Amino acid sequence: MSRADRRHLAQILIIALLAALVPTAAQASANLLANPGLERLDATGFPVCWEKSGWGDQSFTFGLTSPGHTGANAMQITLTTSPNGDRKAMMLENPSCAPNVTPGHQYDLSAWYRTSTPDTVMTVFRHDAAQGWVYWTDLATLPVTATWTPKTVRTPQVPPGTDQIVWGITIYGVGTLATDDYVMNDVTTPAGGTSCSAGDACTQGVWQVLPFDSPVRGIHTVVLRNGDVLLVAGSGNNPDDFAAKTFKTAVYHPGSGTFTTVATPADLFCSGHVQLPDGRVLIMGGNKDYPAADGSHGYEGLKNSYVFDPATNSYTRVNDMTAGSWYPSATVMGNGDVISLGGLGEDSSGTVATQYFSNAQQRWLGLGEAHQTWNFWGLYPSMILMQDGRLFYTGSHVFGDGLPGTGSSIYDYDSGAITPVSGLQNKDQRDQSMSVLLPPAQDQKVITLGGGNINTNVDANPLTDVIDLKQAAPAYTAGPPLPTGKMYVSAVLLPDGKVFETGGGLHNRADPVYEASMYDPATNTFTAGMATDPVPRTYHSSAFLLPDGRVMAVGDNPGNGSFDMRLSIYSPPYLFRGARPQILTIQEHHWAYGSTHAITVDGPVLKAELIRPEAVTHSSDPNQRFVDLPMSVNGDTIGLNLTSNPNIAPPGWYMLFVVGTNGVPSVAQWVQVG
C-alpha cells in the first residue's frame, strides 16, 4: 500500500470515527434512509429518492458537486438572488423513499453540510393520515462553514396519525449550500421509571390550599422573571377602597411563602398587562371611576400607564395612553412592541383607538403615529400573535355578546385589514371563555374553551373550538366538549405539552364548578377526573404555571361582593412518576433567534421547551405560549435550537424546561430570548 493510499485510508477512518461520535444515541437503529450518500442517480442525473424543491422568485441552480463529503456526489444549491421563498434539497414524498416512523417515537436526523450563508435550516415534513403531506417544523439553523461539518438534530415526538416523514436542508439567502451523507435513526428507548405508588395522585394530581391568605385581592397575576408572582388588586372591585384611594399590590415569593407589599400609584383594577422584553411588566389603563349612582356614567377607563420592575418591586409611570382603557387587551409583538385594543374609555364608551407601545422608545405612540382602524374589539379581547405577525382575535372576551359577524377574525396591524374567521360555535355565549395557543407554538393551533353570557345568564357551555392558523383560510372546527359547561375557566400550558383546565362557574358570579381536566393537543382529547381545587374559582380568578411545574390558583369574587383570599397549589400527575431530570449547566442565558445553546442534563431527555410566564386576568392571557426546542443530543450534552422567527417566540424572559423519558419535567431555568 502506498503512502497516499495509507493517508486516504486514515482519512476514511477519521471520518468514520467522527460519524460514530455524532450522538451515540443516534446509533440505536440502522440508518432508515434510502440512498443516504447520494451515489445512486436517476435518469436525470439527480440522486434517487431526492428532489429539487422550494418556492419563490430566486435566481438559483441545483446540481451535484464532486467529490462529496464521502463518495463522488454531494447535492449543491446556489442562490444568486433571493427576494422571497427558499430552495430545498429534500427527500421525495413517496412511499418507497420516505422513511416510515412510529407515533410517539423520536428520531435523530444527521447530515454533513457546507454553507456560505446563515440563512440555512433543517426542514421536516410529515405525512398525516387525514391531511396528507404537511409542513412539520424547521429543526435547526445551521451556522456558516466552509468545511464539511456534521449536524444532528432530534425530532419532537412523532404526532399521532403520522406514518412517514421527509426532511432536508433549506437555503433562503444568497449563497451556496452543499449536503451529503444523510442519516436517520430511531432513538426511542422504553420509558422506564413510570411506576407510581401515590394512588390517585398518579393520574389526578393533588391540590393543596396554602396555610396563609393573600394580603391583596389577586385580580391580576403575573409570573415574574425571578419566579415571584405579582398580585395586583388596585381597588379590588371594592368601591369603598376606591373612594379611600386604597390601591393594593403585593409580590408573592413561592420559595419562602412570604409577601412584599408594593405602593400602588393608581387604581389598576381591570387594567391590561404584558411582559416586556427585559422582564419588566407594562401595565396599561385601569379604573378611573365606578358607575355613578344616578346612572350618569358607567365604569370609566384610565389613560395612565406604568411599568413594574421586579428588580425593585416598584412602579414607574410612562406616558399616558391615547385613550382610556378599562378591560383592554395587551399583546406583545415579535419586535417587542405592544398592541392594546378594546376596553372602555374615560367616558364609559367603547375604546376604538389602536394603542401602540414602542419598546425602543419606551412610550405609547400618539394617536396619529399608530395605524388606526377605529374598530371596537370589545372588553379583554383575546388577541394572539400569529407566526406571520398578524393578530388572531379568538372570540374570547368579557361581558355579554360577542362581536357582530362571525365573532372572530384576523387583524393585520400594518394594513388595517380585518378578515372574518368562521366556525366559532355560539359566539354570543363565549363571555369569559379562555383561548390559548396550543403546544407547540410552531403548530399555530388555538383552542377556545367554554364561556357563557352575563346578560342572558344561560348555563355556561362546554364548547371547545380548535383552529389551525397555518391554513390558507383558517376556520374554527368543533373540538371535544369540556366535561362540563363553565365560564371563568382557566387554561394553563404545562411542560409536558398538555393543557390543564380548571375552575369556573355555571352562571354570572355564581354556581362554582368543581371540575378539572387535561387536554392533549396531540390527540385532541380531554381526560376528565383531574383533582379539583377545593376553593371556588369563578369571577376574578386565575390559574398559572410556576417554574417548578406546579399550578397556582387565586381569587374568587361572587355576586355578593366578597372575595376569597385563599391560595391553592396543584401538583400535576407528572410530579408523582419518578425522579425529575436536572438541568446541570446552561451555556448562555441570553438567546438570539436562530441560535443553538448547549445545556447538560443528568440523564435521557424526551424534549425541551420554552414557556412564556403568564400575565393573566379574567380568563385572558393571549401571550401564553409553549415554544418547542428541537434537540441535538450528544450523551448528556444537548444543543437546543431556537426558532429564527420572533413571532413564534416574542422577545422576553422564558422558563426553560426539559422533560425526562418518564414524562417528568425539570424545574425551569430562566433564559432571555431576543
Q: What are phi and psi of 555, to 5 degrees?
A: 85, 150
Mean pLDDT score, 40-68: 93
* DSSP secondary structure code for residue 521 in this structure: T
pLDDT tens-digit series, residues 508-567: 999 999 999 999 999 999 999 999 999 999 999 999 999 999 999 999 999 999 999 999
Q: What is the rounded CA–CA span in Å between residue 392 and residue 336?
A: 17
pLDDT band at 206 (very low <50, low <70, confident <90, very high): very high
pLDDT band at 8 (very low <50, low <70, confident <90, very high): very low
pLDDT tens-digit series, residues 108-135: 999 999 999 999 999 999 998 778 899 9
| Comparison of pLDDT for 603 and 652, the residue scoring more | 652
Q: What is the rounded CA–CA span in Å between residue 542 and residue 254?
A: 16
> Omega into 67 within 30° of 0, i.e. cis?
yes
> Which CA distances in Å does 7 have to 4, 44, 68, 148, 672?
5, 35, 18, 18, 47
pLDDT value of residue 102: 84
Output the DSSP codes for 156-202.
Answer: PPPPTTEEEEEEEEEE-SSEEEEEEEEEEEE-----------STTHH
CA angle at 421 for the pair 526 and 396, rounded to the nearest 5°? 55
* DSSP secondary structure code for residue 360 in this structure: T
pLDDT value of residue 20: 31
Most distant pair of Cα atoms in the chain: their distance:
105
Place of cell 384610565: 302
Q: Contact, 314 vs 306, CB < 8 A?
A: no
pLDDT value of residue 170: 96
| Comparison of pLDDT for 242 and 7, the residue scoring more | 242
Task: Give the global pTM.
Answer: 0.88
Among the residue ranges 145-154, 513-522, 571-580, 645-654, the one predicted with the least confidence is: 571-580
| Comparison of pLDDT for 388 and 26, the residue scoring more | 388
| Comparison of pLDDT for 22 and 410, the residue scoring more | 410
Q: What is the rounded CA–CA span in Å between residue 352 and residue 587?
A: 46
pLDDT value of residue 371: 97
197's grid cell: 405508588
Q: What is the rounded CA–CA span in Å between residue 232 and residue 237?
A: 12
Output the DSSP codes for 102-127.
Answer: -TT--EEEEEEEEESSS-EEEEEEEE
412's grid cell: 393585520
pLDDT value of residue 29: 56
Name 163's Cβ contacts closer than 8 Å, sequence gap at least 6: 100, 101, 127, 129
Q: For the chain, give the number of residues.
A: 674
pLDDT band at 24 (very low <50, low <70, confident <90, very high): very low
Asked if the model's pLDDT at residue 644 lies above 70, the reply is yes
Among the residue ranges 90-99, 280-289, 377-386, 442-451, the one predicted with the least confidence is: 90-99
- For the purposes of burial, counting CB atoms within 10 Å of the CB of 634, is it exposed (0-12), middle (13-18) or buried (19 or more)? middle
Helix ranges, 61-100 (H): none
Helix ranges, 239-278 (H): 239-243
Q: Contact, 209 vs 553, CB < 8 A?
A: no
pLDDT value of residue 12: 32
Asked if the model's pLDDT at residue 1 lies above 70, the reply is no
Q: Is 289 helix (H, G, I), strand (E, B) or coil?
A: strand
pLDDT value of residue 94: 84
Q: What is the rounded CA–CA span in Å between residue 215 and residue 259?
A: 8
Q: Which CATH superfamily is domain 10-186 in?
A: Galactose-binding domain-like (2.60.120.260)
> Which CA distances in Å does 167 have to 243, 318, 599, 641?
64, 48, 25, 16
pLDDT band at 195 (very low <50, low <70, confident <90, very high): low
End-to-end CA distance of the chain: give it in Å, rounded: 56
> Which CA distances in Å does 663 have to 194, 202, 453, 572, 634?
8, 12, 38, 11, 20
Output the DSSP codes for 198-247.
Answer: STTHHHH-EEEEEEEE-SS--SEEEE-TTS-EEEEEETTT-HHHHHTT--
Neighbours of 485 (CB within 10 A): 22
> Omega into 160 within 30° of 0, i.e. cis?
no
For 583-673, which CATH class? mainly beta
Q: Contact, 540 vs 219, CB < 8 A?
A: yes
Helices and strands, number each (H, E), in the chain: 3, 52
Q: Contact, 109 vs 167, CB < 8 A?
A: yes
The full set of domain ranges for the chain reads 10-186, 583-673
pLDDT tens-digit series, residues 330-351: 999 999 999 999 999 999 999 9
pLDDT band at 139 (very low <50, low <70, confident <90, very high): very high
Q: Contact, 231 vs 218, CB < 8 A?
A: yes
